[in-house]
Amino acid sequence: MAGYALWRIGAAVPVLFGMVLVVFLLLNVLPVDPIQVMITQTGSGQAPSASATQETIDNIRRELGLDRPLHVQFLAYLGNALSGDLGSSFRSNQPVAEMIAEQYPYTIRLALAGLTATLVLGLTFGIIAGLWPGSLIDRLLVLVATLGIAAPTFWLGLMLIFAFSIVYPIFPVLGVGSLQAIFLPAITLGLPGAAIVARLTRSNLAAVMKEDYIVTARSKGVSGRLLVLRHAMPNVLAPVLTVIGLQFGNLMTGTVIVETVFSRPGIGRLGVDAILQSDYPVVQGFTLVMATTYVVVNLMVDLIHMWVDPRIRDQ
């Protein structure tokens, strides 16, 4: 088992290297001069209030090493990244690692809250629908789940704000500061995943409930909650676990939008702003952290999978 785990961890290294390389190349083929980024201000559509001279521009370019050949720049970046130095933002001059360290906890908190929403809503509705397939409540839940998958996160967030912050002022509009504040962002983020989990749980549970061992358990007098949770769910959960691992990627992507709609800090916002402003070092750092998170989460899911599924464990 330890060997398998080590092999999985080792396999993540080339994935991350490839990702860094691809992002580096992509950013360098864009028709954008990063120095323009540094001397202009975009957010408000405001032009800079003072202009830089050509000399300033050349100086900045030399200082940042942007006049060196591409492969030299890449190797330098890689070397620094390995020692935790992700460079400095073109715009604010802050170290990228610092910027990410500041924003990352907010995103992880939001992602975990979203994951909780996915699991609680998805499993609850999935189990109810799965136990009574074909019933009215089942059909209703399938309909809601389909809508949940289809609804754009951006729209969903604004609708939830309108309903639960303006019409019925239960939750704050701004999604940061208190425990209550994370509720709407978590629902917005977790709902599409919940819909998928609900549908998967429902179909798996409906199938498992017809299996021989359930019939056997039932004939031995096991019933109700024990039958479902003890006997049926372990077999239902294995594929659900895999989907959750994959869903975590969507969840991380979703934070980008949810953080904007609910004005939460986070690296999703940081990344999008950086992309809009062509702030390469930040885009690179952002992609690296997002990809690492995704790889680590899926590694964890694999290990948990191995632990809950004896068939993999014994291989």
Residues that bind other proteins (CB under 8 A): 30-34, 36-37, 39-57, 59-60, 91-94, 106, 158, 161-162, 165-166, 169, 172-174, 176, 260-265, 269, 273, 275-278
CA dist., res. 103 & res. 89, Å (int): 14
Nearer to other proteins, 18 or 152 (CB): 152
CA dist., res. 280 & res. 262, Å (int): 26
Cα separations in angstroms, 223 against 47, 130, 131, 214 = 70, 16, 12, 10
Nearer to other proteins, 46 or 83 (CB): 46
Instruction: State the minimum distance, in angstroms, from the CB of residue 270 to other proteins.
Output: 9
Nearer to other proteins, 103 or 204 (CB): 103
Instruction: State the minimum distance, in angstroms, from the CB of residue 106 to other proteins.
Output: 6
Instruction: State the minimum distance, in angstroms, from the CB of residue 219 to other proteins.
Output: 57
Nearer to other proteins, 118 or 255 (CB): 255
CA dist., res. 308 & res. 231, Å (int): 14
Instruction: State the minimum distance, in angstroms, from the CB of residue 254 to other proteins.
Output: 15
Q: Which residues contact 198 (CB under 8 A, 6 or more apart)?
A: 121, 122, 123, 125, 126, 129, 141, 145
Lookup result for tokens 């019939």: 215
Instruction: State the minimum distance, in angstroms, from the CB of residue 145 to other proteins.
Output: 27
Reference 225, options 217, 187, 295, 290; nearest CA is 217
Nearer to other proteins, 2 or 47 (CB): 47
CA dist., res. 43 & res. 45, Å (int): 6
Cα separations in angstroms, 188 against 44, 159, 191, 204, 272 = 27, 10, 6, 25, 19
